[in-house]
Amino acid sequence: MLYYLFDYLQSVDFPGAGMFQYISFRSGLSVITSLLIATFIGKKVIRLLQKQQIGEIIRDLGLEGQYQKKGTPTMGGLIIITSLLIPTLLFARLDNVYIILMIITTLWMGTIGFLDDYIKVFKKDKEGLAGRFKIIGQVGLGLIVGITMFLSDDVMVRERIDGELVMVENVEGQMVEQVATRDVKKTITNIPFVKNHEFDYTKIVSFLGDSAEKYGWLIFIVVVVFIITAVSNGANITDGLDGLATGTSAIIGTTLGVFAYLSSNIIYADYLNIMYIPMSEELVVFVSAFIGATVGFLWYNSFPAQVFMGDTGSLTIGGIIAVFAILIRIELLIPILCGIFLVENLSVMIQVSWFKYTKRKYGEGRRVFRMAPLHHHYQKKGYPESKIVTRFWIIGILLAILTIVTLKVR
């Protein structure tokens, strides 16, 4: 909203109004504002949740210190959502298709998570929202994102035209030859370890000839649905220790911000030989608010937590991370960047599958881990909760660095 106000002020030569045209300036305001909002309203929301007796329901898992968390306010994801959306609405261009999709993602997944927490807290149903309804919601969001990217004329990528050169002015003011480019609508994405860092989903169905492009979009939409479902569930599963999901998400968000800035800057994108995505620079404003919101929430969520984000927060941040990665075309890097979420997800799948298999074969279920998800395994081994969280954060930072390093790996 303020963007449009200052855009008008600039048109009438108001001093300093032009600062709002700079992504770096608006991103800086976004991260500061979201951080301040999260820390300011955090106490008020916690008191309100305590007053309404919206406390965490504890299941007996035999973990040390778990009953000390009984009654800790949950649904704190409302703090994250509020402190994320307000700066976005203030500082981002609201007519930008990428911002519209991120706002829809935040509200959509926030609603699903809120319903889940509401059923758990107020209906006293420990299972919360039925799994099939969560899946339907996640699939629905995936379809919205995938179909919008297919239909919107504003969702483009810039590709090089082999064999065609143009003269352009470089940063030093000199005219140099450069490969010609054009904006196209393609199911193309960034992928490390291959030439030009690019992969087109149409290659999977290249045997279909002229119909390959149409069915390539179908495959892309399926991939979008899968990634949103997997990452949002991964974030939800990871949210089991104080500050674990929050800190991990802040690290992932920072990395996504780096990629968004590079992908939206034609000079850096050309230098690093990565895909340039026109009009995606507004995503930097959004992810800055995301970083500020998660760090601000961590002020109250760090050990010992004063509030839990609940599914309201975990499903939302998972959905945001997934959709953001898809929009800047690095969804195939998610297994590396979101390695913590992936391992937590896999630990549950391995545990359940092995237990069922051994029970069917031997008549007695056996376990691979002492408890799943993985962070509970280390709790069972006697590791202090704060040490587990800190070490997971360190691994998350290493994975983030590795993800950025892939920019130069061919």
pLDDT at res. 410: 57
- pLDDT of residue 226 exceeding 90: yes
Between residues 193 and 58, which one has the greater pLDDT?
A: 193
pLDDT tens-digit series, residues 362-401: 888 999 999 989 999 999 999 999 999 999 999 999 999 9
Residue 164 has pLDDT above 80, yes or no: no
Secondary structure letter of residue 154 according to DSSP: T
Place of tokens 């990452």: 231
Lowest mean per-residue pLDDT among 79-88, 236-245, 265-274, 304-313: 265-274
The answer to whether the beta carbons of residues 138 and 145 sit under 8 Å apart is no
Helix ranges (DSSP H) in 92-206:
97-122, 131-151
Does position 205 have pLDDT exceeding 80, yes or no?
A: yes
> What six digits make up the tokens of 124?
């006293």
pLDDT at site 103: 98
Going from N- to C-terminal start, the domains of the chain cover: 2-156+189-408
Question: If you average pLDDT over residues 270-296, what whole number do you get?
Answer: 92
Q: Tell me, what's the pLDDT at 167?
A: 60
Cα separation values, 159 from 182, 337, 408, Å: 6, 25, 18
Q: What is the mean pLDDT of residues 2-16?
A: 74
Cis peptide before 73 (omega within 30 of 0): no
- pLDDT, the chain, mean: 88
- Token pair 């298709």 is at which residue? 97
Q: Per-residue pLDDT tens for 232-245?
A: 999 999 998 999 99
Q: Tell whether the model's pLDDT for residue 206 goes beyond 80.
A: yes
Residue 358 has pLDDT above 90, yes or no: yes
